[in-house]
Amino acid sequence: MKTLVLIICLLVSVSLRAETVQVVETDRQGQKRVTASSTTTKTPLPAGGEQQETTSSRRDSSGNLVLERSISATVVPAAEGVTVTTRTERQVDVNGRLQPTRQISERTTQVGSDELRTERTIQSVDRLNGGLTVSDRELATTRIAGNTSITETTLQKPTGTGWRDAGRIRTTEVKAADGSLQREIIESGRPLHERDSGSIEPQRKIIETEITRPDGSKVVERQTFRRDVNGDWKPASFSTENGQKPLN
């Protein structure tokens, strides 16, 4: 069974916060392998909000962590209960250079004391002309009741006359008395051969348990399942390709 462990370490200073996340996978033989790592620094802005810079690395074929992508984000309050975030994503190309791939504009509005609504418009690089074109939109609603929050996200693609639904994500989080989090994520989409006409059906499920270690770091244990042709959830197979090295 596939298990992902995210070890999150927080370093806090007066003007800057750094968050490092390591992804550790446990294979069928019980070997733990660091397969990815990311670091995010958050700097407060004078007028409010913050600047976020994230770098992500992954294992190459030799088992070494190499830079994969970077994300620059600006988060600012736009009005009471409204936050606007602008992200620019860059990915390493075949020549090892970071190139812009997506720009995301996000607006989150708090509705009452127990609901958040978020709209994200995503522009992706057009490989033909090199410019940015609108490629996706995400509409999310988060409702909070006690220690439980449920987020329903609709994934949309542009059409000649508007938008069409392409997928859905449902995320349920439950906070236990000891501070740990139980999280279930169900991703739904259309079949590959029926992207334009097929019905949206559950395809992948992720189960996570997040706890805080005595040293303050956070660990997220993740199990991933895929739906088979009979509609049953089966554990995703684990691959040890790319020469990933065991965690010492």
- The predicted structure's pLDDT at residue 220: 72
Residue 190 CB-half CA count within 13 A: 15
- The predicted structure's pLDDT at residue 68: 94
Would you list the domain boundaries of the chain?
A: 3-235
Give the span between the Cα atoms of 111 and 82, in whole angstroms.
9
- The predicted structure's pLDDT at residue 16: 66
Architecture in CATH of 3-235: Beta Barrel (2.40)
Low-confidence ranges of the chain (pLDDT < 70): 1-16, 25-30, 195-197, 213, 215-218, 237-248
- The predicted structure's pLDDT at residue 27: 66
Tokens of 176: 């236990």
**Tens of pLDDT along 87-140?**
999 999 989 899 999 999 999 999 989 999 999 999 999 877 778 999 999 999
E-only strand ranges, the chain = 3-12, 17-26, 32-44, 50-59, 65-79, 82-92, 98-111, 115-125, 132-145, 148-158, 163-175, 181-189, 201-212, 218-227, 233-235
- The predicted structure's pLDDT at residue 18: 74
